[in-house]
Structure 1
């Protein structure tokens, strides 16, 4: 009882001392509702590329100490804006590009994990690394931001289930199966399909992720990979930063036939703020060669993001939608959602459109917390039933790494 009371007092004090949330200037019933929701439920964003922004920072690349988060950082994310945005939990993407395979993907992946962990350790009064749902709840209750690592791209495991397990032991709690290129065992959204989805080894990767308790992230994957993963996975999946393809026909978005499978699977689509993914006009303009772009660049707006959220709510249900902004991984931003301080404005607008307190809490973090809790439950069962997999891509796919399926 004393610990619970102390945690509640600490959270209340932290929120009281934090900058005012980015809500309406005068305040209204919607603003108050959002404050209440985000004080009680962690706003759990599915994808933020701050570690890569630090690696690529021109002033001091990879230098966590030089990239000061207590002041105004050059990108979309810093501590004052996280506080203003009432962020309670964050999946920090430890993204590495597919091209890193040329210099050793696992090595570059370890460097990105190191950057993320050093950021978390540098600000212990603000961040703590979370390894479980109970960690998220405890850290949020202390008034700090629960920080979880998410890998973006299965190329980083170099076709090794042992590497997958090692990354889990370092705190990685989701793996996006592909990035924007096909890999040996899974098709990406953004290249012509080579496998038709997952290879047999790819299916074994999903099974081993289920056994570990690592969330299967299907953002960036092809529809075939999405369906294969849903067929194989014994646990709910996530889409850490995607939209609805019926709203914006971009290959990074999720088709309705996949959305309709989420109630049975239990998974969640965390809606992204990437302008070209949420607005068809921006998508068309950005796909043109620079010399063919006429006039000023079109802008995506908060209204576009809301259309994606509400479409997923209609097709899959309110239990299957969340938020995954992709801040610090984008060069252009949505008007009204320019950085991590702006989440409350989005929630306030949804409240004005009739979203209830319970529904807003699900969108903010309740849904992804439910998914992760079920992933942990499934993992506990599977770890009793079977040992770690030692199968290889050569054994399961009958081919050398990189050789297409016949």
Structure 2
């Protein structure tokens, strides 16, 4: 099959056949199609999209490019959650142990940072010794015995998606609904789950800037799940300012541990609990949402969820003492403050600019080959709606000397301070199923 012809067909808006789409996935997985040709095809999809039939074939081809896990021997409901990505979004680190403490099995296969957004694997690797590269058999054992597994994509699970995922980050094709939907669903359905809950972010720090876009993405993934026999629920949540207070890998793990102690920021805790309630509900374990929330808050307060987190850290080679003393994870030694340039009300915080500010310090990667500095990052002292005086610290910068000037430029662009009031936005916009 002539690959340039397939690229041209999609570039010009034509529908590709199932055979052609499978040939692209199979050829790329087998190293018969180079990165530059797949990059060109992804850009063609970015501009011309895919219809539902194409998208179903593309997703199924990625799903079956590797092993599809069989977790049927594991007792209990297997439910996972996926976020479309945001700034300060460390929900997975709290949600997985909390859901496991509540009785669910959580087989979580995660990714690395994309552009200005952080990645769960990068955060986990800031824990000394934590190994995200587990075999499928070990992953299956952890899910069965501990209630969760936290790994990256292996060579066996959706290998086509693993490679395409990395390409999208460096070819400006991240914000494409068919590519986002197929990437998420191929990877998640390969986990052998019984149900999936999605956290679809919307706002300045999300890939979806408008609620209508986020709803379209959610509905696209729900329809893929329905076609493949897996119930999918989606929650559309705010990413018009960072979630929680910490941005940066080590700092976000520390905040996650604080939240697992019942001492985390209100917005982060609330969103995590709401998502776990949806996971329990999808598994048929919720008669009353208010009662389920009360139970989950109790699991945070009494340390049950934190103990599950400690158990998976140790099982995957990490230092479990971080749960007692998070300072074991060393943040950058040098810390300065970013002060309010004027007094007034913080009317808006552009979450994307905050994410890019952390990227300038080295907290993320611009190319798939870049190293990440786990120690650097930002901590918000004030959020949207807060009143500040001129010169008052509104953010702390943890840095190792790289990119500081550009970071501060980004922060000046991120904070809008005026007479107020700040626009009131809900943490959760809507639920879909």
Q: TM range, normalised to the smaller chain?
A: under 0.3
Which structure shows the bigger proportion of residues in strand conformation? 2
Give the TM-score of the pair, scaled to structure 2: 0.24
Give the TM-score of the pair, scaled to structure 1: 0.25
